[in-house]
Amino acid sequence: MVLPPVFLIHTATIQKRHRMQKLTYTGATGTPVVGQNVTGGTSHQTAVISALGSGSLIVKTISGTFTAGETMTHAAFTATLGTQTDYVNQSGEYQYYWSNDQSGIACRFGYSGGKGEIIHETGQLLDQPLKCMLPETVTIDAVDYRIVTVSSGFVGTYDISTSYPISNVTALNHYSAVLRKVTV
């Protein structure tokens, strides 16, 4: 039994995490500009320049793999591409960006006990985690996806702490995701 739409009263956008890329280049003319698109002359791939390095562009929103040796251009810049690799910062960490992956997803936000807090048997007040019920058709995991909503009472961006499928007797019914609000 799939959940009827009446139970899914909120909407959300699911975002996917991607690694930023480093494009090395030689033979540059002009100056690259952060925020501009760069296009590969042979591959026709595109990316948005996020930062500038010495002889390199740090890019995001990449449409695919560029071809080594091709000419990269944008309005005020032309260069020959050397390599395309995952971008690693000075601390040796991969850098990421988020893009909208699934939009207008019907869902339901709520707390297990109906409130955001419960009283523990010791009398201590405990915060209940926010949960989100998602249809069985979505793609999510707890590392590469997050949820953004403008639904009243739940506005914000949330990391997925954990998610698990809920099945009935015959098939996957929906996913339940435990969320943690993040500052963007």
pLDDT tens digits, residue range 103-151? 999 999 988 665 555 555 666 656 678 899 999 999 998 889 999 999 9
Choose the final residue of a domain: 94, 118, 151.
94
On whether both 77 and 144 belong to a single domain, the answer is no
Tokens of 88: 């690693």
Residue type at 17 in one-letter notation: R
Choose the final residue of a domain: 94, 118, 143.
94
Instruction: For residue 94, give the nearest of 56, 60, 145, 55 by alpha carbon.
Output: 60
Report the domain count for the chain. Answer: 2
Mean pLDDT, to the nearest integer, of 40-44?
Answer: 96
Q: What is the DSSP letter of 90?
A: T
On whether both 11 and 48 belong to a single domain, the answer is no
On whether both 104 and 87 belong to a single domain, the answer is no
What global pTM score does this model have?
0.79
Question: How high does pLDDT run on average in the chain?
Answer: 89
From CA 173, how far away is CA 126, in angstroms rounded? 29
Choose the final residue of a domain: 38, 65, 94.
94
On whether both 103 and 173 belong to a single domain, the answer is yes
The pLDDT of residue 118: 53
Residues spanned by the domain of 178: 5-16+98-182
The pLDDT of residue 172: 80
**Phi, psi angle pair for 20, to nearest 5°:** -70, 155
On whether both 174 and 106 belong to a single domain, the answer is yes
